[in-house]
Structure 1
Amino acid sequence: MRRVSLARQLLLLQLVVVLVTVGLVAWLAVEATDDATRDGERDRAVSVARALAASGEVRAALRRDDPAAALQPLAEEVRRRADLGFVVFLSPSGIRYSHPDPARIGGRFVGTIAPAVRGGEVVEETTGTLGPSVRAVVSIRDGGRVAGLVAVGVLQAAISDQVRDHLPALLASAVAALLVGAGLSMLLARRVRRHTRGMDPEQLGALYAHHDAVLHAIGEGVVVTAHDGRLALVNGEARRLLGFDGDVTGRRVDEVVRGAALVQALTSGVGSGVHVVGGRVLLSVSRPARVDGRHVGTVTTLRDRTELEGLVRELGTVRGLADALRAQAHESANELHTVVGLVELGRYDDAVAFATRRIGVTQDEADQVQERIGDPALAALLLAKAAACRERGVQLVLAGDSDLPAGLVPEDDLVTVVGNLIDNALDALAGRTGGRIEVRAHVADGSVELTVRDDGPGFADGALERAFEAGWSTKAGANEGRRGIGLALVAAATARLGGSAAASNDGGAVVTVRVPAHRGAGLTA
């Protein structure tokens, strides 16, 4: 069986509705016309009857011995001129003095006359000798008494003829309304067919079910933004990644999303970027959405790169340690060659003194770090970074007043914050020799304070406000996908710990992080 498209079903339904509506309205119009015509004829009958009852000629005729001789011609003349069904003059007892059929003169009137005999009026629809009619019966007073009655009526057949005279106009209006309704229904059906691609309801339902299943089954977040900047669709993964608690469909992006860069990504429809949201590193890819060549919004996919970024950072740390070991091996080889050379020259005392001095320097550096930094992971990181910095001609020093007991800050967050700050400082000193990076870590007023400063060019004008914004960086390079993440990760880790991060310039870049120390730990000021 051939399926009927949704547009055609809608068209058929609308045509039936239009046909029934127009038919009902036409019937109501005919009924209204009939009622209006009937009311008009009733009022006309009353007016003519009252005029005749007030006529002196009629009262004079009633005083004669043979009232019918004078009233019959008068009644017929009024009936013809006023186009009435009948004009009948009566005695107070209901005997006719006139009638359209002269043979009925002298007979008894058929209808209600009692109220009129008492001086009132009667208006009714009833059937008399001439057929159904609308009539009015009015008393004729002469000297304070009821001298007679006058009945004026319009036959139902005449009323029906008047209604039929209006039918062509009513039918023309109904046909016009039917054509207009059918035309509008066809236009709407064409629009629906264009938007539904001619599919029937079952196909549309299946398409929606498949679309919804795919949309919520994929492991990426999908956000569709309308052209007016409102969220049109957010799948479950996107709600999780962006931290939406409830349904945000229909709300403006800038009302529910934090971060100008992410708002721009969700609304611009251009390019890709990296963002930090709630401690997660998200990669966004935005494309404009077009339907029939029209721009209707933006489709953005979000990928969680937190684990990947963590692995990259961990790999970077391992590579840093490898570089540090390589640098130390290189230094040790040079020192060993020096010792061998001194021995070959027979300068044994100098060889022993040189070896002893180098061993002492290396051990002193390790002892100083371990004495001031209680966290072993952070101490190892600082020693590895110091070796890497020496290889690049940069001096990494630990401030003399540093004092950070172990266990005050989660180890992973501590390494993330300090490692990223040192990497950023080292990047700022790239291409320079003799640069200096100072790390300061101590506890004050119940908070752990970490400060990393360098003697590089510092932050450029206008950069301080955006220093911790994901995706923003003052560095240029080919690996743009990962630029601008370091300080953003620092800010995310700091916020997660309930702390704060600040950047400033003081003979170079200075970044200070303050986070609450764990309760129950020994605090030193």
Structure 2
Amino acid sequence: MKTLQKYRFKLSTIIIIFVCTVVTMSLLITDLLITNTTSETIENQLEDKAITISRSIAESKIVKDGLTDVPDEEISIQEYTTNIQQASDVLFVVVMDMEGIRKSHPDVQKIGKHFIGGDEQRALNGEEYISRSTGTLGKSLRAFTPIYDNKQNQIGAVAVGISLEAVTASIQQSHRKILIGSTVGVLIGIIGAFLLARYIKNSLFGLEPYAIARIHEERNIMLHSVHEGIIAIDRTGTIILVNKSARRIFKEASLKKSDPNGMKISDFLPGTRLEDVLISQEAELDQEQLINGVSIITNRVPLIVNGHVVGAIATFRDKTEVNQLAEQLTGVQMYADTLRAQSHEFKNQLQVLLGLIKMEDYEEVTHFISKLVDHQADEIGSVTKYIKDPIFAGFIIGKMSYARESHVSIAIDFETEIPQAGSPEITHELITILGNIIDNAIDSVSKSEKQEIRMTFSYIDDLLSMTIADTGEGIPEDKLEDIFLKGHTSKDGKHRGFGLFLTRQSIDKLEGSIDVDSVLGEGTTFTIIVPFDQGEDSL
């Protein structure tokens, strides 16, 4: 991985290179086009300048009189053209007769000699044009204009020359300005690219593209690997994520749509409250929902970014799996409480023995141990004699120890033997039922003067009957129907009100019944009757 990352460019580097390349290419193409256009424009301007000057000179009376042998006017041609040449800043102004003999020239010694260049014949034939040629003053751009007298007879021609070196210098000067502008543009592009890259990277929390891609892949793997189903929607109610566990649950519920992504949640799951969470902006936790007969436990939470709801997500699990897990945890907790109570009780007994031994009251030690052994033998012997299931018997003995630790007296009456259950599931459900009811009874009598609990067991015609009566504070009559509801509790604190709810579920699972009789200030009696199939070892 390190070798691959070594050759990956940073986002800022990529943006700077890309922007600089685009800006440079754009400026180069612009420079090329502008340079060509500028060169053509400069040349056209100089040609227009030269032709304008040549036409002006061709219409001059001084020049016409000088070419028609008007006395003293031929000398005036040189003076006139010299003034024009200096004023217009051109290379030369040459006036010639029909024989091509110069009548004016920047070099007076060339006056009277034939025009050099070979491109004057067309002008002597009455044509006006622009040409490029090399003469005595070097290479130049030349404008030729024929000269006519008052009767429109051609009497000569005028040539105005502009140095091509001056043309080149003007073009180069313009090109330098364009290059300076292009360089400034590239620098501005680099600075802009750097600022853009910095802004984008800050928006991406400082992450590089390959890091974002890796996080995206890891996030998808994590979402699809969790056991809970996950479905998410955006602010419009469109499904944007469904993980594998959710698809499995939907398949069990006979929702066989191939790919729910992109569908409206109301079309895919009619009756869901996920869209309501978008509006209320409040989470809904541990809610039950039916999907085509499949019961699930779901949590719906709005997705809030910078104070705005951008979507909602639901995590859910098959209720059957949740119940199994809850029952397992309840059973484990009860086993742990039983062991803890027995351990604590045994520790207290050891402390009593230690005190008696230190006092060297060996007779009392003997008496205490005898009493303890007899009590344990009577209690354990009675329970194990009538309850043939060792796990169930151990549970009852543990609860008796826990009650003594809480200074509560438990009396047990066995009307018949209780055979071993036909399956461990029945034993587990019985532990869940009795564990929650006994715990509630101990809590109830702890506030009473008389702290007693009496349990009665009987097994007749494959029905197990269990009665748990306490001397607690009792339950108001108007509350009797609510005690089995999920979350209902008379105790302080969160995460309470599940004991009797789980008890009712376990009784329903065993297809049994439960009756409650309570008198305020006197106590409460629970009567449970469940079908009880005995195991082969009990036959």
Q: TM-score, normalised by structure 2?
A: 0.48
Computing the radius of gyration from Cα coordinates, the structure with the larger value is: 2
With the length of structure 1 as denominator, give the TM-score of the two structures. 0.49
Q: Give the number of the structure with larger relative contact order, counting CA–CA contacts within 8 Å between residues 6 or more apart.
A: 1
